[in-house]
Structures are given as structure tokens and as C-alpha cells.
Amino acid sequence: MNFLPNTDKDREEMLKVIGVSSVEELFGDIPPELRFKGDLKLPPALSEFELARHMEELAAKNTAQDYVSFIGAGAYDHYIPAVVGHVLGRSEFYTAYTPYQPEISQAVLQSIYEYQTMICELTGMDAANASMYDGASAAAESVTIAAGLTRRKRALVSKTVHPETRAVISTYADARDIVVEEIDYTQGVTDVESLAAKLGDDVACVVIQQPNFFGALEPVDEISAKVKQSGAAFIVSVNPMTLGLLRPPAEYGADIVVGEGQVFGSPMAFGGPYLGILAVTHKLLRRMPGRLVGMTTDDQGNRGFVLTLQTREQHIRRERATSNICSNQALNALAAVVYLSWAGKHGLREIGEQCVQKAAYLAGKISEIDGFSLAWEAPFFNEFAIKCPVDAEQVLEALLEQNILAGYPLGRAYPELKQYLLIAVTEKRTKQEMDALVAGLEGLA
């Protein structure tokens, strides 16, 4: 199957207009020894029906789709309302590209403006960009912003920040010769004393996550106070789903807020595409990477939207740009706008409350099981760690028999936490499902 409209007759006519006798002549500038001879070793073409069947078969091999999942750890199984798929399926949105021609791109531009507004509302920050690749790369770029702002070369990152976010920060920081140091944790949250000991006037930024990777709420006011004293930038990575209920990071002094926006209408999809949220204070606006949409007027005074402050960007500024980022995650940002319009002012809070209530219920039940306990006492939102009587990998393995994915074994990223399992719930998890998990764990006690 191919998608070529031209017939052989069309091709002949076109060759005649060009003035060549064969398409081959058009490739005459490629040195003959660089011409690929023979056939690419790829499977032969499939018809649409064959392809559909093949893709269905591959998808069916992902048997995880049939399990009840309590895995969170940075990607969450929230309900995605039908309106999200409906709007994203409008091909005016998904078959467009970057809105370089604003007169025929008002849909993409206005939806990004709406997205920017919603992110500012949720985070309390002054400016949000049109999105980054994901939460981790947004965090990595924010460290670069901070290093540029402070002209300092050390970045402190809490060990309670998502391990993959820390990995991506390291990749980006290494390229810029920024030294990344990790801050220990105590009782499931950032050790403020360890942070204070590492702070100094050479520290560009401090990165924490709220709620942190263990699901626990960090002592953000204490941390913020220490960071501010040192003159470093305070970077907070949030789960934005919590912001219907929890206070915005601007209230506790965040200079840059990043986050994984997958929770707003993007499926878990084996890890992507997701949505990188990035929002800053007014002071950092012109250091922000990526696209930004502004409101303006046309020649007759009508309201319209355009890409703005483009002189920060690579297509204008080239090697002096704030980042190399070009395409963003516009369709995921659109999913977030539609999701947040659906949930609205009250729905987001109610979804958050359900997550908190259900997580508390499940945590209470698990802590009653002999041999199981909550890992730490810190308050949590929709995710918490438990200590198991055995290696958490064994717990995960054992529960598979009951079609339950019990959680994320923390030993994978924290060798000292082999007996700890990270459990997440969303509004989708029912009491019955949670009770089944509890029963399964009881069987292991």
C-alpha cells in the first residue's frame, strides 16, 4: 500500500515538462558509487487490512493492558474523557505544523494561549511556554536557564526527584559542564540539613519535586528559605494533577516550575509522547526556551494570536538561542487544554480529592497487614511507599498471578530500598480493586 496519487501517465507528462526522459536523470548528481543498489532488507508492503491485523496482533501481545495497575512513578492512569480524543482527532489540529503562518493557524495558536493561561493559573507563575518534550527534559532545560541566570556551575538535585528526571538533567548538564550533586533524603523527603551543607554562592539552582518521587510532600517552605538565602534559583518539578488541591509553587517561591503533563489527557502509552510543562517568573521570561504565543491585533484591529519573542529561538538566533528546541508537544498541550476545560475549576479539585481519599484508604488497609507498613510518615497525595516483608520485586511478581500490577519496586532506582514498593492510585481505582490488592498482599504476609 502506498499513498501516491500520480499515475504513470502523470509521471510521463511531468518528465516531459521537466525535459528529462526518466526520473533516474534527476538523481544524476549522486555519485554512482553512492547509489544504493538492490533492495532495502525490509519486509514487503502490506495492504491496509493486513497491516491492521498485524498491528492488532502486536498490540494484543501487550498483555499489561488487562491488568489492574497501581504503578505510578511518573506516569498515571487517570481517566481520559471522550472529548479529548474527539478534539485531538480533528485533523485541522493534528495534520498542521508549527504555526508560522498565523492567519491560517489561529486554532493552534489560540489553543496554546489557552494552555499557557491554564498552566499559569495552576502554578501561579507569570509565564508558561507552549510545552517541552516531557517533564524530565523540561527540568533539564530549567537547570540550563538557572546556570545562565546565575552564571554558576553547580546544580543541586534532591534524590527524591524522579530518577529519570535526574538522569536527563545529568545528560544536559554534562554538555554544559554544569556539575550536578545530589541531596540525600531522610524520612522520605529531602534532607534539609544536607541541602544546607551543600549550598553555597556557586550553586546555580536547587531542584526538588513536589510531591516527590516517593509520593511524599516535601517541606517546601523550609527548603525554599534555604535556597533563597543562597541566591540559587529554586526549581520545582510538580505533578500538575495535584494543583487543583495543593497550593501553587509560586506561593513557596519557585523561580521555575516544571512538570509532567501526561496526567492531563495523554495516555500512558508506554512512556510517550507526554507533555513537558515549563513556567517561570517574569524575570526569567526572556531566558525561557521553546515557543510562546502572544495576543495581538491584525491590520483591522481584530484580535489574533502569534508566536512571540521568537528572537530567543534557534530559527532566528541559531547558536545563541536559549535552547535548540524546535518542535514541542503541541498536540499533548491541546489534550491538556481540553482535559482542563472538561474538568474545570471544580472538577480538577474533585479528581484530586478522590485520589487523596482513595490513596489514604489503601494506605490504611495495607498498614494493617502484618509485615507491611507505610515507609514514612510524610503526608502524600495519590502515591505512597510501603515496606514489605520481602523484596518488593517478589511482591510485584506474586501479584501478577491475580492480574494486578502492585506498584513500582523502589529498589530499581534506590538499592537501599529493596523492600519498598511505590503504590499509586487514581480516581479510576475502585474499592474493589484496592481490596483485591490488599487481599493479595495479605496472602504474602
Mapping DSSP to helix (H, G, I), strand (E, B) and coil, where does residue 422 land? strand
Residue closer to other proteins, measured from CB, 199 or 234: 234
Least distance from other proteins to the Cβ atom of residue 70, Å: 10
C-beta closer to other proteins: residue 326 or 390: 326
Question: Could you tell me the smallest distance in angstroms from the CB atom of residue 359 to other proteins?
Answer: 8
The position carrying cell 537547570 is 143
The gap between the terminal CA atoms of the chain, to the nearest Å, is 56
Q: How far is the CB of 159 from other proteins (least distance, A)?
A: 17
Distance (Å, rounded) from C-alpha 128 to C-alpha 440? Answer: 44
Q: How far are the Cα atoms of 348, 361, 397, 407, 430 from residue 403, in angstroms, in the given order?
A: 30, 21, 10, 12, 15
Is 94 or 371 the residue whose CB approaches other proteins more closely? Answer: 94
User: Which whole-number Å values give the CA distances from 429 to 85, 265, 350, 361, 435, in the listed order?
Assistant: 21, 17, 15, 11, 10
Name residues whose C-beta falls within 8 Å of residue 435's C-beta, 6 or more positions apart in sequence.
Answer: 365
Nearer to other proteins, 122 or 206 (CB): 122
Alpha-carbon separation of residue 399 from 199, 403, 404, 439 (angstroms):
43, 7, 5, 10
Report, in Å, the least distance between residue 246 CB and other proteins: 5
Please, which residue, 44 or 416, has the CB nearer to other proteins? 44
When the beta carbons of 199 and 279 are compared against other proteins, the nearer one is 279
Question: In terms of Cα–Cα distance, which of 186, 175, 190 is closest to 220?
Answer: 190
Write down the residue that cell numbers 510562546 correspond to. Answer: 292
Alpha-carbon distance of 160 to 137, in angstroms, equals 17
CB of 192 to other proteins, least distance (A): 16
Alpha-carbon distance of 445 to 431, in angstroms, equals: 21
Closest to other proteins by CB, 193 vs 397, is 397
User: Least distance from C-beta 301 to other proteins, angstroms?
Assistant: 10
Question: Which residue number, 199 or 337, has a Cβ lying nearer to other proteins?
Answer: 337
Compute the least distance from the CB of residue 160 to other proteins, in Å. 16
CB of 303 to other proteins, least distance (A): 6
| Nearest CB to other proteins, comparing residues 309 and 444 | 309
Q: What span, in angstroms and rounded, lies between the C-alpha atoms of 275 and 131? A: 7
Residues with Cβ within 8 Å of 82's Cβ and at least 6 positions away in sequence, in order, are none
Sequence-ordered list of residues with C-beta below 8 angstroms from that of 209, at least 6 positions apart, any chain: 158, 160, 161, 162, 165, 218, 236, 237, 238
**Least Å from the CB of residue 197 to other proteins:** 26
